[in-house]
């Protein structure tokens, strides 16, 4: 009788352990593995910079600057925040310097950080985008 109870107890423990093992197995997420693989394969180092745009006024200004910055080699992405008058830029620091990005913005007619706009480019902007000094 005692042997049968021991056997049943052992059997219950074994079943529980098997259950636990199966649970752990299902926790192993294949999507996670794929994400890690994607991160490993990108060897570029992307830097982020914020550039102050004190003279922007409307959505046309935003488009003009986003286009100008997007055309700079080494820029990965650009997003202009009209309300805060700032550009958020992700770029490859091995390919481009922030001053090159600032120069592209001044060349399109807008101040960028402490760099002053190209006045000729500014005068060619839409009337609503021009600003007095």
- 1: helix, coil or strand? coil
Write out the binding residues for Cu ion, residues 38-57 only, by CB under 5 A.
Answer: 57
Window of 5-13, 38-46, 75-83, 125-133 that interacts with Cu ion by CB under 5 A: 125-133
* Mode of pairing for the β-strands spanning 46-52 and 75-81: unpaired
- Among residues 41, 104, 54, the alpha carbon closest in space to that of 84 is found at 54
Residue nearest to Cu ion (CB): 129
Site stretch for Cu ion (CB under 5 A), options 1-9, 61-69, 74-82, 86-94: 61-69
Among 10, 14, 17, 58, binds Cu ion (CB under 5 A): 58
Shortest distance, CB of residue 127 to Cu ion, whole angstroms?
Answer: 9
Instruction: Report which secondary-structure segment, H or E, holds 100.
Output: helix 98-107
> Which string of b and e fits 19-38 if b means at least 16 CB within 10 Å?
eeeeeeeeeeeeeeeeeeee
- Note whether 105 and 69 are within 8 A (CB): yes
Of 6, 60, 70, 90, the one binding Cu ion (CB under 5 A) is 60
Shortest distance in whole angstroms from residue 129 CB to Cu ion = 3
Interface size with Cu ion, residues (CB under 5 A):
5
Which residues of this chain interact with Cu ion, rule CB under 5 A?
57-58, 60-61, 129
């Amino acid at each position: 009788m005692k042997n049968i109870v021991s056997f049943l107890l052992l059997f219950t423990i074994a079943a529980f352990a098997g259950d636990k093992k199966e649970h752990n197995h299902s926790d192993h997420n294949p999507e996670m593995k794929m994400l890690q693989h994607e991160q490993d394969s990108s060897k570029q180092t992307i830097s982020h910079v914020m550039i102050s745009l004190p003279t922007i006024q409307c959505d046309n200004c935003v488009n003009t600057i986003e286009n100008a910055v997007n055309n700079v080699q080494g820029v990965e992405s650009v997003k202009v925040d009209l309300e805060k008058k700032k550009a958020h830029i992700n770029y490859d620091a091995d390919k481009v310097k922030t001053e090159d990005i600032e120069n592209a913005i001044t060349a399109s007619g807008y101040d960028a950080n402490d760099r002053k706009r190209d006045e000729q480019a500014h005068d060619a902007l839409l009337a609503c985008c021009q600003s007095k000094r």
